[in-house]
Structure 1
Amino acid sequence: MTTHPLPPVVDTATWERRLQTLRAREKAATRELDAIAAERRRLPMVEVPDYTLEGEDGPVRLVDVFDGKRQLIVYHHMWFPGKEWQCPGCTGFTAQFTRLEFLDGYDARFVVVTQGPIDEALAYKRRVGNRMTWYSTADSSFGADVGAPPGGEFAVNVFLREGDTVYRTWHTSCRGAEQLTHTFALIDLLPYGRQEEWQDSPEGWPQSPAYSRWPRSEDIAALYGAGADGAERPRQGR
Structure 2
Amino acid sequence: MTANALPPVVDADTWQHELDALRAREKAATRELDAIAAQRRRLPMVRMPDYTLEGADGPVRLADVFGDRRQLIVYNHMWSEGKEWQCSGCTGFTSQFTRLEFLQAYDARFVIVTQGPIDEALAYKRRVGNRMDWYSTANSPFGTDTGAPPGGGYAVNVFLRDGDAVYRTWHTDGRGTEQLSHSFPLIDLLPYGRQEEWQDSPEGWPQSPTFSGWSTSKEIAALYGTDAPEA
TM-score between both structures, scaled by the size of structure 1: 0.95
Stretches of structure 1 lacking an aligned partner (at least 5 in a row): 232-238
Name 1:189's counterpart in structure 2: 189
Measured in 1, the distance between the counterparts of 2:67 and 2:230 equals 31
Residue 226 (structure 1) shift: 1.2
After TM superposition, give the deviation of residue 230 of structure 1 in Å: 4.7
CA–CA separation in structure 2 for the residues paired with 1:230 and 1:84:
23
2:78 maps to which residue? 78
Cα offset, 1:64, TM superposition: 0.3
Paired AA for residue 167 in structure 1: Y
| Matched AA of 1:10 | V
Structure 1 Cα separation of the partners of residues 178 and 229 of structure 2: 29
- Cα shift readout 1:23-52 (whole Å, capped 9, x = no counterpart): 000000000000000000000000000000
What is the aligned partner in structure 1 of residue 150 from structure 2? 150
Match of 1:119 in 2: 119
Corresponding letter in the other structure for 2:14? T
Give, as a single letter, the amino acid of the residue that structure 2 aligns with 1:72: L
Partner of 2:173: 173
For 2:229 and 2:50, the matched residues in 1 are separated by 40
In structure 2, relative to structure 1, the CA distance for the partners of 1:4 and 1:86 (3 Å cut) is: farther
| Distance in structure 1 (CA, Å) of the matches to 2:89 and 2:196 | 15
2:120 paired with 1:107: no
Determine if the alignment matches structure 1 residue 57 to structure 2 residue 28. Answer: no
CA distance in 2, matches of 1:23, 1:120: 47
Encode CA deviations 1:38-81: one digit per residue, 9 max, x unaligned.
00000000000000000000000000000110000000000000
Runs of 4+ in 1 over 6 A off after TM superposition: none
Q: Which residue of 2 aligns with 1:236?
A: none
Q: Percent identity?
A: 77
Correspondence for 2:69: 69
Hey, what does 2:215 align to over in structure 1? 215
Alignment coverage as a number of residue pairs: 230
Cα distance in structure 2, aligned partners of 1:72 and 1:94: 16
Aligned match of 2:228: 228
CA change 1:126–1:4 in 2 (3 A) is farther
In structure 1, the residue matched to 2:33 is 33
Q: Residue 160 of structure 1 aligns with which residue? A: 160
* Cα offsets for 1:167-190 (capped at 9, x unmatched): 000000000000000000000000
Q: CA RMSD in A?
A: 1.0
Aligned pairs for 1:4-15 within 5 A:
5-15=5-15
2: distance between equivalents of 1:230 and 1:214? Answer: 23
